[in-house]
Amino acid sequence: MKFNIITIFPDVFEPYFNESIIKRARAKKLVQIKIYNLRNYTNDRHRTVDDRPYGGGAGMVFMVAPILKAVAALKKKFSGKKLKTKIVLLSAKGKKFDQKMAKKFSKLDNLILISGRYEGVDERVAKYIADEEISIGDYVLTGGELPAMIVVDAVVRLIPGVITEDSLKRESFFKEKYIEHPHYTRPEEIIINGKKRKVPKVLLSGDHKKIEEWRSR
């Protein structure tokens, strides 16, 4: 699978993508991650990507033209190939990203992620260029770069071969709500705020049936 991220801050991604599971997935060639600087798709010498909003108001808005040009250039790379591609605009007003969506994305060949910034993105990007507009939560961020990383991280894990089937099975979802049992490791006993805090006895019992019942509860 290939991830294509359009951004004005291309340097923020590699430090995260070059670690842990995503790094190994790239090394195995299970995924490709390409970062595209939106400023490279501008036509003026100042490489302008934003302008004042029509109707007035605070802040600057990403112009549609550079994004249109960037997406067209990416589409041209895929032309003639029967590839499943989706274009996603990361936006505070988009549909909430969840595990169901991550699974759907993991079956694609190409995912194009558009990272917004400033006051917002020209609405014509959401209406006529992007296939979907998604948000990672009900809060405001400086831009779409962190949401892009989150989407990539969530999707990469679901690509066959990236992590073991056993690990995936342990990550349970019930009605789209994440279900996880408490975890403990050494030491068995530790003093916190003057009180002894112990690992639950059932986890030390060696009785796997009882342990699974405890975890289920």
pLDDT(132) > 70: yes
How far is 102 from 154, CA to CA, in rounded Å?
Answer: 6
How far is 199 from 209, CA to CA, in rounded Å?
Answer: 18
Q: Which two tokens stand for residue 76?
A: 């041209």
The tens digit of pLDDT for each residue in 92-122 reads 899 999 999 999 999 999 999 999 887 789 9
26 falls within a domain? yes
pLDDT at 173: 53
176 falls within a domain? no
Residue 189 and residue 117 share a domain: no
Residue 36 and residue 101 share a domain: yes
Residue 41 and residue 88 share a domain: yes
119 falls within a domain? yes
pLDDT(207) > 50: yes
169 falls within a domain? no
Angle at CA 26, nearest 5°, toward 150 and 162? 75
17 falls within a domain? yes
In CATH, what number is assigned to the domain containing residue 90? 3.40.1280.10
Domain of residue 109 covers 2-163
How far is 87 from 14, CA to CA, in rounded Å?
Answer: 21
pLDDT at 96: 97
Residue 102 and residue 198 share a domain: no
pLDDT at 172: 57
The count of domains in the chain is: 2
What is the pTM (predicted TM-score) of this model?
A: 0.87
Residue 191 and residue 102 share a domain: no
- At residue 81 the predicted structure's pLDDT band, cuts being 50, 70 and 90, is confident
How far is 141 from 139, CA to CA, in rounded Å?
Answer: 7
Residue 54 and residue 149 share a domain: yes
pLDDT(174) > 70: no
pLDDT at 171: 64
